[in-house]
Amino acid sequence: MTTQKKSTEVGFPLYMTLCATIAAFSGFQVGWAIGVPNMPQSAISQCTGGDSHSSLPACLPMSDFSWGYTIAAYPIGGVFGSFLSMYSNVWLGRRHNIMVTCVLFIIGNVISAVSINVPMYSIGRAIVGIAAGMCGSSVAIYVSEISTNKARGALGSLFELFLNAGVLFTQVCGLYMSYDPLWRFLWGISAILAAIQMGLLFLFTVECPRRLCANKEYDRAAAALQKLRGGADVEEEFAALLAARQREVESAVPTMSIWDILTCKNKHITWHTVIIMVIQAYNQAGGIGPMSVYSVGFFTKIFNGDTKQATTLSLVDGAVNTLATLVSVMFVHRLGRKNLMMASLLGCTLGCILMVVGAHNPNLGGVIIAAAIIYIGTYSLGCGVIPWFIAPELVPMHALASASALGSASNWLMNFIINILWPYMAANLGDNAFIVFIAINFVGFVFILFFMPETTGKGLDDEDEKTPGAETITESGNGSSHSVEKQEKKEVEYLET
């Protein structure tokens, strides 16, 4: 007779991996929205895509700076969506929240696809940004909460893998659809994919057992956990879930708001939230925007107007980005979150240095190509993937919604700042523009080296014991040990029924 394997010892059960993959596909929508304006920029803003073949305008004429503001509508929506997710994750749950973002992706992309003027196009971009801001935090929480400890890093990295794949596919599609009216269908494709994802979420996924336990839906939580873990024995893991939720109840720890975190109601949680915000900010702060959203225009200038070479390098960057993220998915649990972040930031620093050197020496085209590949490849190893799943590993559940919202908002705010400032940086600093990112990436490396804790292999509820009031149930001599023992008996009774 074979002994049933404990769920805490399993790695990647099939159904759990399926649920995580379906949820993480939101990253494809985010990446598609990031990259979709890149290739058809001139067709949209400068009317190079031919005459109109429909009742809609052939293009939406605008200057480079106006184009920057339409691009910035997306991260502004992301900031708003990040703060909205703090409430929607609580009101709707993780799974339903992701489904709502699919609806917003559909609405926003359709509006941009049929836009007749710049404001309408920007509104569509902003709505898609709201969806991206909401799904960034909800997907991270959902995937982390359904995953085993062994699988959390890899499955948490899927969001960035899909994001990079989305950017890459928009580059490829943009090569053949950068003229009227096909540039409009680039936004329609994303709307169709969002509808498919919503159907898959509804039909094939379950809500997080951790979330269900918090809502005292214990039967649903037990059934969901068993389904996620396949044929493994979930008794020990489910007991731990119940115990963690009971600790929160007995210690009377209220749900922390953003204001509670900002006013240092719990210094430990506030500091960890700062770490989350910094890590999330470095998803955008180190120069990935110019390397993706503005890559074709930027490389065209460096290569003295050679659009073909610039386009080719942008496609290579997209492929390297996706492959490097896949490497991170495979090794993030072995190499550790902190090590990958440090390696990533050092690599980005080196890439930016080479970019400046290459820009000052037009004859050194190989240096520019090497700089782009080194930057993109090392970015994807850490800065690309770690931000999307670090929050649940650093803060307890009662602060998770607020901390995730602040982290996601930090990401999108930095995205907005870089997108707004980059045209001015490129215009005024010229070949020295990437010196700014050299300094930013190196400062990030120093911060991570000294302040980021390693969370690889950490249980999501381990942090609960460090929250306010937890000492009342963990210290002996004050009656709390008896309370815990009593709760454990209740859990056993529940599991046996």
Query: Do the Cβ atoms of 290 and 32 come closer than 8 Å?
Result: no
d(CA 107, CA 110): 5
Q: Which tokens go with 420?
A: 């707004």
> Which 8-state DSSP code applies to residue 387?
G
pLDDT, position 225: 94
Does residue 210 form part of some domain? no
d(CA 19, CA 128): 23
Long-range interactions of 52-55: CB distance < 8 A, separation 24+: 52/180, 52/181, 53/180, 53/181, 54/180, 54/181
d(CA 431, CA 410): 28
| Overall domain count for the chain | 1
> Which 8-state DSSP code applies to residue 117?
S
Cα–Cα–Cα angle for 240, 243, 244, rounded to 5 degrees: 85
Q: Which tokens go with 373?
A: 């590949």
The amino acid that residue 180 corresponds to is D
Which residue in the block uniquely carries the two structure tokens 């390297």?
320
pLDDT, position 293: 56
Q: Over its length of 497 residues, how does the chain's per-residue pLDDT go in tens digits? A: 456 788 878 889 999 999 999 999 999 999 899 888 877 877 888 787 666 667 888 888 887 777 777 877 888 899 899 889 888 887 888 899 999 999 999 999 999 999 989 899 999 999 999 999 999 888 988 998 999 988 888 898 889 889 888 888 887 888 788 777 888 899 899 999 999 999 999 999 999 998 898 888 999 999 999 999 998 999 988 998 888 777 777 766 677 889 999 999 999 999 999 999 999 999 989 988 777 655 555 666 666 666 666 677 667 777 777 787 787 777 777 788 899 999 999 999 999 999 888 878 767 667 877 888 888 889 988 898 899 888 888 998 788 889 988 998 999 899 888 877 887 887 888 778 889 999 999 999 999 999 999 988 776 666 444 444 433 333 333 433 333 344 444 444 444 44
Q: Which tokens go with 423?
A: 């045209």
Phi, psi values for residue 233, rounded to 5°: -80, 115
Domain containing residue 62:
16-51+58-204+244-473
C-alpha to C-alpha distances, 184 to 127, 168, 187, 325, 426, nearest whole angstrom: 17, 18, 6, 29, 28
Looking at the DSSP bridge assignments, the partners of residue 6 are: 233
Does residue 25 form part of some domain? yes
Does residue 87 form part of some domain? yes
Q: Could you give the residue ranges of the DSSP H alpha helices within 364-456?
A: 365-381, 391-394, 397-429, 435-451
Kindly report whether the peptide bond that precedes residue 37 is cis, defined as omega within 30 degrees of 0. Answer: no
Query: What count of other Cβ atoms lies within 10 Å of the Cβ of residue 459?
Result: 15
Does residue 437 form part of some domain? yes
Three-state DSSP at 6 gives: strand
Within 8 A by CB and 6+ apart from 147, the residues are 16, 20, 155, 156
- Provide the Cα torsion 446, 440, 318, 412; round to 10°: 100
Which residue in the block uniquely carries the two structure tokens 């980021």?
452
d(CA 128, CA 110): 10
pLDDT, position 241: 85
Which residue in the block uniquely carries the two structure tokens 């009662």?
398
pTM above the 0.85 mark?
A: no
Helix pair 14-24, 182-204: axis angle to 10 deg? 150
Does residue 272 form part of some domain? yes
Query: What count of other Cβ atoms lies within 10 Å of the Cβ of residue 176?
Result: 9
Cα–Cα–Cα angle for 447, 452, 455, rounded to 5 degrees: 160
Query: Do the Cβ atoms of 122 and 69 come closer than 8 Å?
Result: yes
d(CA 265, CA 262): 8
pLDDT, position 53: 65
End-to-end alpha carbon distance in the chain: 24
Does residue 102 form part of some domain? yes
Pick the closest to residue 294 from 422, 170, 179, 171 (CA basis).
Answer: 422
Which residue in the block uniquely carries the two structure tokens 């009317």?
47
For residue 166, the domain's CATH number is 1.20.1250.20
Query: Do the Cβ atoms of 27 and 159 come closer than 8 Å?
Result: yes
Query: Do the Cβ atoms of 328 and 385 come closer than 8 Å?
Result: yes
Does residue 491 form part of some domain? no
Does residue 217 form part of some domain? no
In DSSP notation, 121-169 reads HHHHHHHHHHHHHHHHHHHHHHHHHHS-TTTHHHHHTHHHHHHHHHHHH
Phi, psi values for residue 55, rounded to 5°: -75, -10
> Which 8-state DSSP code applies to residue 233?
B
